[in-house]
Structure 1
Amino acid sequence: MTAADGAPCARPGCAGTLQDGYCDECGHAPAQAGASTGGASGATVDPGTAAWSPSTGSGTAAWSPSTGTAASTGPSTGTSGSRPSRRGTGRTSTSSSAGGRLGAGLVDVPPVPQVDPSSALLIDPQVPEHKRVCSRCGGPVGRSKDGRPGRVEGFCPRDGAPFSFRPKLEPGVLVDGQYEVQGCLAHGGLGWIYLALDRKVSDRWVVLKGLLDSGDADAMAAAAAEARFLAQIRHPDIVTIHNFAQHPGDDGTPVGYIVMEYVGGVSLKQLLEDRRRPDGTLEPLPVAQAIAYAIEILPALGFLHSRGLAYCDFKPENVIQYERQLKLIDLGAVIRLDDERSPVYGTIGYQAPEIATVGPSPSSDVHTVGRTLAVLTLGIPPARRGVPTPLPEPSENPVLARHESFHRLLRRATDPDPLRRFGSAEEMADQLGGVLREVLAAEGGHPAPRTSTIFGPRHGDFAPDLLAAAGEPGRPEPAQVAARLPDPVAGGDPASSLLVAASSVDLDDVRRMLASSAQQGTEMRLMLLRAHLGAGDPDAATEVLDGLGGDDLDDWRREWFRGVIALSAGRTDAACAAFDTVYATLPGEMVPKLALAAAAECAGQDAVAGHHYGLVARPDPSIADAAFGLARVLARAGDRAGAVAALDAIPETSSRYVAAQLAAVQVVLLGCAPAEVEEAELRSAADRVERLALAPATDLQVRASLLVPAVELVSVAGEGGAPFLGCPWRERDLRFALERCLRTSARLTTDRAERIGLVDRANAVRPLTWV
């Protein structure tokens, strides 16, 4: 036994102890302060310089349809809040990836220089003893005993299966008369990986992948399958196969090797390992950077899915960054979606739980991407003692506490029910784009609005004028909010464009349209639903919704309209619950957050409303309803400075910019007696008014509202200050200015009672004169 045997493992989150130099739980050697975890004494490849990563390794298992068994274990546990609906958006749009755009123009991902291939070679290629297992029974083989090192070749003592962990190719060997072996790069569950020079094609660097154990029939089949699949795949983010070569083994039997491009860079796993602190803890990757990686690589998975293939073993080890590009490597676990006979390979902690019963699917690949994001950003290991590590709660992890939409995205991507996950890689990438903008805004980045492909335009603003000049701000009317919310857009139904205008269409007109239509599709019936709401009849709208079958409407769209109907009827709690479910399903969309915020404000839940208004307003200040809503919530809480800042975020290009500036002036006066207004705030509001080009009546009204507290304040603060709204800071002059505003406003109004009131006020404020 070594001196460290029995000591606790120093890796964060691991409860194991060291045995024979390795942890009995996570299998890693003791963490060394400031040292890399790979490449020690040449025992394993250092992923920081390696060009390749094996498709499997410690924790990888295959599920065989013939036996129905798998090493994959149960799903991640759920967390608080609504679960996503059991159907996705149904979107079929695709996206493509082009090298060199990592970060989507939003994130500055640090480049990774390409490494010299020869520097990645292992000096002493060996399989660590803790990774030596029998290919047939999975039991340990080749382990040390009684002070003697373990055998690299032999037979399993349990079932007699032969094993060999010795590289089959030595440096200098010429494979198939073309590929000169330079040495070993890495090892893993499916084979040794060699670096070679292609002597027939400009001495280019290539990678040869062979079998770790030629006695493993499943591994042999997987290698052959990989060659077959790779030959069909051409994608800028997927490693390219060049050839398939053979070389005689020790017994003269030909052994196959896949020849593929060399990718010089760093795996995402090593990028994470390089952030290990001196105390052994791990600093996760920034959320925005990890999301940028996922957005870049998801189209490659979508490319495979479109060709009827599942990747199966996505994880940080299998993605290489070089410069500002990514490459998906090691397609050894790729399988056809309709293949019910071949074994399915995957890694515990990443693999979807339903693999053992229903096999791989695009949804199961989505699960692996979600788990990869969790490992990269949350500082959790993929598994502990062979069981996937559950997602922590926001109360347990500051990243999830700070980024709610990211938390919801992880929950949906890794949901144990595959029907609740994103339905495709493209859908997940689309939602990640929205979450990325939200994360960047929360981290102080510049707003980056985007146009939704799922929701149509809003039917107008629902509450732009509730920041009254006296008292506290009002709350929006639930029915008005419901009428202004946008509608989902169904790209497959030509009638979907009619739904956008349905809120302004007369109910009788809609009925006539339906009566004259040969086919009453889903979108036309939803148009009837909207018309019933416009007529103030939520019960009739509910009947229309209940009449739509499960095949007519995605679950999340049904929840959306339930929320709209509930809000129209004033049932704000039910509306909040429905919109929360839609938010859980579409965490990257702004509209569900806006609807949830408005419903919560209507219900008097200002904490919930303010949080979700902020999630919308920060990444897209042009959504005026979110900025106004956030300002109302902050003003009611007494944070006038925060309310003004929320309104100031609305850009000058917005049609609501002037209204927001006037509302900011009103915020200064909220809940204050004229004499209680701070001079600095009052002067700031006056400067704001002088910069605006206002209609005469509005300009006079706003100036009068500021001159009233100015008259009160000057008697306390003293005269002789800087001019205010163009007049001297003296009580007499301020009174004359206020009188002029009121008398001019009286001449402009057409309301007799209002005119009399304005003249009376003007007479009251006029200073005493001789005439």
Structure 2
Amino acid sequence: MTICDRPGCGGTVEDGYCDVAGHAYGTAPAGATGSSASVATSPSSGPATIGLSSARGSRRPGSGRTSGRTVGRGTLGAGLIDIAPVPYRDPATAVLDTAEVPERKRFCSRCSEPVGRASGDRPGRTEGFCKACGHAYSFTPKLRRGELLGGQYEVLGPIAHGGLGWIYLAKDRNVSDAWRVLKGLLDSGDADAMAAAVAERRFLAEVDHPNIVKIYNFVQHVDATSGENVGYTVMEYVGGRSLRDILLDERAAGGHQGPLPAERAIAYMLEILPALGYLHQRGLLFCDFKPDNVIQTEEQLKLIDLGGVRRIDDLDSAIYGTVGYQAPEIADEGPSVSSDLYTVGRTLAVLSLNFQGYATTRSDALPPVSATPELADAESFHRFLRRATHLTPDLRFASAADMAEQLTGVLRELLASRDGQPRPAPSTLFGPEQRVAPADPDPAEAAACLPVPLVDLTDPAAGFLASITVTDPAELLALLAAAPRTTLEVTLRRVRAHLAAGDVPAASAELAQVPADEALDWRVGWFKGIAALSAGDTTGATALFDAVYDALPGEAAPKLALAATAECAADLATADRYYELVWRTDRGYVGAAFGLARVRVAAGRHTAARDALDAVPHTSSHHLTAQLAAITAHVNGRAPGDLSAAELLAAGARLDALTVDAERRGWIVLDLLSAALAWHDAGRPGGEPPGARLLGTGLTERDLRTGLEAAYRTLARLAPDAATRVNLVDQANVVRPRTWV
């Protein structure tokens, strides 16, 4: 049993509603700014905010790149997880036997106050006038079975009750008795007003997308009881379950108030985001996105309520929205692409989190991480929700396509975290790692290995930059000086050239001169982070890369950068966490495996280090290097007393099984024989198997020293210069066994 969260109520929640107050659980009480039903608000007096996709100069860490990419529709589950289909409901079974609205769901359509409620011995009324605003209400069906609307649509009966009255099933007598749904357009009005309203909404009939309910027609019909002219939208029949009903059904089946699994809720949003993007590209806003307005039928989702859809440049029509989902700036600025995407973020949060008070105490905030395990265990998901529901519109996602792209990355990461199976995918924003960092990278080396952002193909200088093939920094800077125009991409290419030349001050100076509107672009923040890390400023680099992670929660590159920075700062726990996050999701980032191994060796977790390196795919060009590093991970940083003969012999056997050039083999032999000698000098802890030999060498002191001497002399013969050769020969003489000669 769940207690209603309204102050002073004391009711219990049944079927998602309080049995005392009647409000949906977690929604605003009567007298607050709204209710769980969609309500119309006054339009903004100023121009509607279109969102960042209309202003290329507004890109920033936190805004995403506006590239004009679109996301095509895929199967439900984003091709990554299986979602159980919802059976299609036979329309003939959808008509209600008893058309009655429970009292707890009766609200005034104008002011959202409760109406038609029982009081004492007086039963509730299904028709009357709101005591708060005087607006007429009616909860009795206006259409009767057999009535014919527009000479075409025969009413079969009511199937549900919505914010604008009853919704009816009908047959289209002009189109082979096809099933149709009739939904009230307005409560009532004079003939001229009704005709104008119908004409204004006809653009919805042009909307054609597989994830949006099809609008066929608009008809007017004189109500037989009141004589009022009532408008109806004629839509396709969609037989299934709304996401809200799916959530409530699963709660009832499980006997709890918990959320849907995050990965499933994400898959739902990924299926529906292309539909919102379709509307936005046509200058339309949905305005009232929420779980109630999305239906799953079989293996497809559909937006089913277009009553709140309006044109982006419409400054006069009423704005429909729902408290707990609607963006906070709507009343002052009006709806926008940004506010539509905000509703997607809120819907995702409500479906996937244990989110009490989402429409009251936290109507414009996420639940605290400390009380929400779903967020505490999924950092990228949390960052996605923070950006999607940011109170500042310009800091949200710029478009439905950008939002879907990042959300797909978050889903891959979540799934990999659940079952340990990688979910790789190429990035559309970053190139691959430049190279794998050396064994003990300094900050500049670590920065030089990180991925580089791809060129924005909409930049005016993109074609010029694509024609450049030189790699020498000095030559490149000379060519860039002759660029036909200076754009952000030209500036960033100059920054890269300065960094490649080791001139961090020059790179920083270039970045400091980026215009204010472009300086907020996440790519500028990325290169500032690279410059800071190259200069050894790990604190500054961490803050900059963290901002890019906030902007791009589904990308691997920011996490890889945070891991490398933490490693350089000797923050082994943080480095391990981010390297692991990247490596577990995508085995294409081999640098994450080597970084993971380095920090685990430093932390004394040698077995875990070897496990990371052993996971480098056989198909990778770094597989042999990873195998050699896994061998040295047996012994690097180990105290002689912590080693055993079995570990030394296993490392030697791994080396013997590899085909490797003499020089690289020689250095690994030195590591293993040196560790074995230290183990011998420590008293041979754990003993040794009889007749054991490491790389053909016995485990006595004399044998090990002889083997080390031979390894040094082999490397001396392969030395690239005389100084190195002399040094290696000296080392051979130092380590050779003592003799009388």
TM-score (norm 2): 0.86
Distance 1:393 1:160 in 2: 41
Shift in Å at residue 26 of structure 1? 8.1
Contact 1:504–1:534 (CA under 8 A) maintained in structure 2: no
Q: Which residue of 2 aligns with 1:73?
A: none
User: Given the superposition, is the C-alpha separation of residues 423 and 678 from structure 1 closer, same or farther in structure 2, using an over 3 Å criterion?
Assistant: same
2:345 aligned counterpart, secondary structure:
helix
What is aligned with 1:717? Answer: 687
Distance 1:162 1:15, change over 3 A: closer
Per the alignment, residue 235 of structure 2 pairs with 260
1:645-672 residue CA offsets vs partner (Å, 9 max, x unmatched)? 2222221222222111111111110222
Per the TM alignment, residue 481 of structure 1 is displaced from its structure 2 partner at its CA by: 2.6
* Alignment partner of 1:187 is 2:179: no
Taking the aligned partners of 1:458 and 1:500, their CA distance within structure 2 comes to 19
Q: Which range is displaced more, 497-506 or 418-427?
A: 497-506
Change (3 A) 1:607 1:734: closer
Identity %: 51
The residue type paired with residue 726 of structure 2 is A
Q: Which residue of 2 aligns with 1:128?
A: 102
1:486 aligns with 2:451: yes
Partners of 1:567 and 1:445 in 2: CA distance = 31
Q: 1:566 to 1:263 in 2, by over 3 A?
A: same
1:621 aligns with 2:587: yes
Cα distance in structure 2, aligned partners of 1:347 and 1:191: 17
Letter in 1 for 2:317: S
Residue pairs, 1:271-282, within 5 angstroms: 271-276=246-251, 281-282=256-257
556, 562, 569: which one aligns with 1:590: 556
User: 2:231 is paired with a residue of what secondary structure?
Assistant: strand
- Which of 621, 624, 628 aligns to 1:658? It is 624
In the other structure, the counterpart of 1:52 is: none
Please state how far the C-alpha of 1:640 moved relative to its aligned partner: 1.4
Amino acid at match of 1:60: S
Q: Is the 8 A contact 2:143 2:155 kept in 1?
A: yes
Report deviation, 1:369: 0.4
1:441 aligns with 2:431: no
Residue of 719, 729, 741 corresponding to 1:756? 729
Q: What are the equivalent positions in structure 2 for 1:125-164 lying under 5 Å apart? A: 125-164=99-138
Match of 1:600 among 566, 571, 587: 566
CA displacement at 1:371 relative to structure 2 = 0.3
Distance 1:279 1:513, change over 3 A: closer
Give, in whole Å, the separation in 1 of the partners of 2:185 and 2:379.
44
1:240 aligns to 2:214 (yes or no): yes
Q: Tell me, yes or no, if structure 1 residue 61 matches structure 2 residue 35.
A: no
Distance in 1 between residues matched to 2:123 and 2:652, nearest whole Å: 84
> C-alpha displacement at 1:415, in angstroms?
0.3
Aligned counterparts, 1:425-504, within 5 A: 425-461=400-436, 463-466=437-440, 476-488=441-453, 489-493=455-459, 495-496=461-462
Q: Which residue in 2 is equivalent to 1:53?
A: none
1:192–1:212 Cα contact (<8 Å) kept? no
Indicate if the aligned counterparts of 1:227 and 1:258 stay in contact, CA closer than 8 A: no
Q: Distance in 1 between matches of 2:287 and 2:191?
A: 19
Cα distance change of structure 1 residues 360 and 396 upon mapping to structure 2, 3 Å threshold:
same
Amino acid of the residue matched to residue 492 of structure 1? T
Q: For residues 152 and 167 of structure 1, what CA distance do their matches in structure 2 show? A: 10
- Bigger mean CA offset, 561-570 vs 362-371: 561-570
Give 2:30's aligned residue: none
8 Å Cα contact 1:628/1:660 also seen in 2: yes
The answer to whether 1:89 aligns with 2:80 is no
Where do 5+ consecutive residues of structure 1 fail to align? 1-8, 32-36, 39-55, 69-82, 467-475
Tell whether the 8 Å contact from 1:651 to 1:657 is kept in structure 2 after alignment. yes
- Cα offset, 1:120, TM superposition: 3.3
Aligned-pair distance for 1:303? 0.2
Contact map agreement 2:4 2:10 (CA 8 A) in 1: no
Report if aligned partners of 1:188, 1:212 keep a CA contact under 8 Å in 2: no
Q: What's the CA shift string for 1:344-370, capped at 9, x where partnerless?
A: 101100001111111111110110000
Q: Aligned partner of 1:752: which letter?
A: R
Residue 208 of structure 1 is matched in structure 2 by 182
Q: Give, as a single letter, the amino acid of the residue that structure 2 aligns with 1:665.
A: I
Match of 1:412 in 2: 387
Q: Which residue of 2 aligns with 1:698?
A: 664
What displacement does 1:57 show?
A: 7.6
Distance in structure 2 (CA, Å) of the matches to 1:512 and 1:389: 51
Q: Which moved more, 1:222-231 or 1:203-212?
A: 222-231
Shift of the 66–531 alpha-carbon distance from structure 1 to 2, 3 Å rule, reads closer
1:306 maps to amino acid:
Q
Structure 1 counterpart of 2:737, one-letter code = A
Q: How does 1:266-345 map to 2 (within 5 A)?
A: 266-276=241-251, 281-345=256-320
- The alpha-carbon deviation at position 382 of structure 1 amounts to 6.3
- Give per-residue Cα distances to partners, 1:447-483, cap 9 Å, x unaligned: 122222222344333x2323xxxxxxxxx21222333
- 209 and 381 in structure 1: CA distance in 2 versus 1, 3 angstrom threshold: farther
Question: 1:423 is aligned with what amino acid?
Answer: A
Contact 1:95 1:426 (C-alpha < 8 Å) held by counterparts: yes
Which of 527, 540, 551 is matched with 2:493 structurally?
527
The secondary structure found in structure 2 opposite 1:167 is coil
Deviation at 1:580, TM superposition (A): 0.7
Q: 1:29 aligns with which of 19, 25, 34?
A: 19
- Deviation digits for residues 548-574 of structure 1, max 9, x if unmatched? 213445432222222122222221111
Q: 1:22 to 1:723 in 2, by over 3 A?
A: closer
**Structure 2 stretches lacking a partner, 5+ long:** 26-33, 47-58
Contact 2:62 2:547 in 1 (8 A): no
Residue 94 of structure 1: how far off its partner (Å) = 1.1
Choose which of 345, 354, 359 in structure 2 pairs with 1:379: 354
Is 1:609 aligned to residue 575 of structure 2? yes
For 2:449 and 2:62, locate their aligned partners in 1 and report how far apart those are by CA, in whole Å.
Answer: 27
Cα RMSD of the aligned pairs, angstroms, is 3.7
In 1: Cα distance, 2:217 partner to 2:725 partner: 91
Q: CA deviation at 1:278?
A: 7.4
Supply the AA of the counterpart residue of 1:28.
Answer: C
Q: Distance in 2 between matches of 1:526 and 1:649?
A: 35
Does the aligned pair in 1 maintain the 2:323–2:359 contact within 8 Å? no
C-alpha distance in 1 between matches for 2:597 and 2:149: 71
C-alpha spacing 1:174/1:11, structure 2 compared with 1 (3 Å): farther
Give the match's secondary structure for 2:251.
coil
User: Equivalent residues in 2 for 1:539-558 (5 A)?
Assistant: 539-558=505-524
CA distance in 1, matches of 2:616, 2:446: 20
State which of 318, 321, 328 in structure 2 corresponds to 1:353.
328
Amino acid at match of 1:167: P
CA contact (8 A) 1:674 1:708 kept: no
SS in 1 for 2:729: helix
| 1:588, distance to aligned residue in structure 2 (A) | 1.0
Deviation at 1:213, TM superposition (A): 3.4
- Cα distance in 1 for residues equivalent to 2:529 and 2:470: 19
The 1-side partners of 2:390 and 2:291 are apart by 20
Match of 1:390 in 2: 365
Could you tell me the TM-score, scaled by structure 1's length? 0.83
Alpha-carbon offset, residue 225 of structure 1: 7.3
Does the aligned pair in 1 maintain the 2:369–2:376 contact within 8 Å? yes
Between 105-114 and 153-162, the greater mean CA deviation after superposition: 153-162
